Amino acid sequence: MTSSGARVIVTTHNEDGTSVFHSDNVVEPFSPFGPGGSSFSVFDARSTVPVNNQEGPKDLQKILPRVPPAGVTFCITNMAPHHSAPMHRTLSLDYAVVLSGEIVLGLDDGEEKTVKAGDFIVQQGVNHTWHNRTDEVCRIAFVMVGAEKVKLADGQELEETVFKK
């Protein structure tokens, strides 16, 4: 799969409180499922919200995007052409925007929606799958916010069902 790195510019403050640039780097994609699968670039992850804006950025290359229970993660996924991600649930509220290409979002009730470049998704801890049924890479940006488990009327709590690399 051909997908380029993503340029990430990070700002901070100097000792007297003046705004300054901390870094300007290209984050290369991590492909834990091989060259024909999805790749990921995690730009920032914080363990709690509200965040500490004086905390320096961490090296988050070569990790799967996972959000801490009370935290937030900012990342992109590049879904290879004709590739699917298995059904899974994360314990997060995910804000997403398709940056390029298109993707089919499937839910465990069997319903599917095609999401195209420029479309937005608010995903609330649901069991879901992704299918790229095109010949183009689909790039999706995510902000993932740690969330409570979904609790059903009978008291059952829905658990995380993330796939492993």
Residue 120 sits in a domain of what CATH number?
2.60.120.10
| Cα-Cα-Cα-Cα dihedral sign, residues 163, 97, 138, 10 | negative
What is the span of the domain harbouring residue 52? 6-146
Q: What is the pTM of this model?
A: 0.89
Widest pairwise Cα distance in the chain: 56
- Whole-angstrom distance, CA of residue 106 vs CA of residue 134: 15
Secondary structure (3-state) at 81: coil
Residue 20 domain flag: yes
What's the number of CA atoms in the CB half-sphere (13 Å) around residue 43?
19
Residue 156 domain flag: no
Which residue has better confidence, 165 or 143?
Answer: 143
Residue 1 domain flag: no
Number of domains in the chain: 1
Residue 158 domain flag: no
Q: What is the pLDDT of residues 55-97, one digit of tens each?
A: 877 766 676 777 888 999 999 999 999 999 999 999 999 999 9
- pLDDT, residue 68, reads 82
Taking the chain, what is the end-to-end CA distance rounded to the nearest angstrom? 17
Residue 123 domain flag: yes
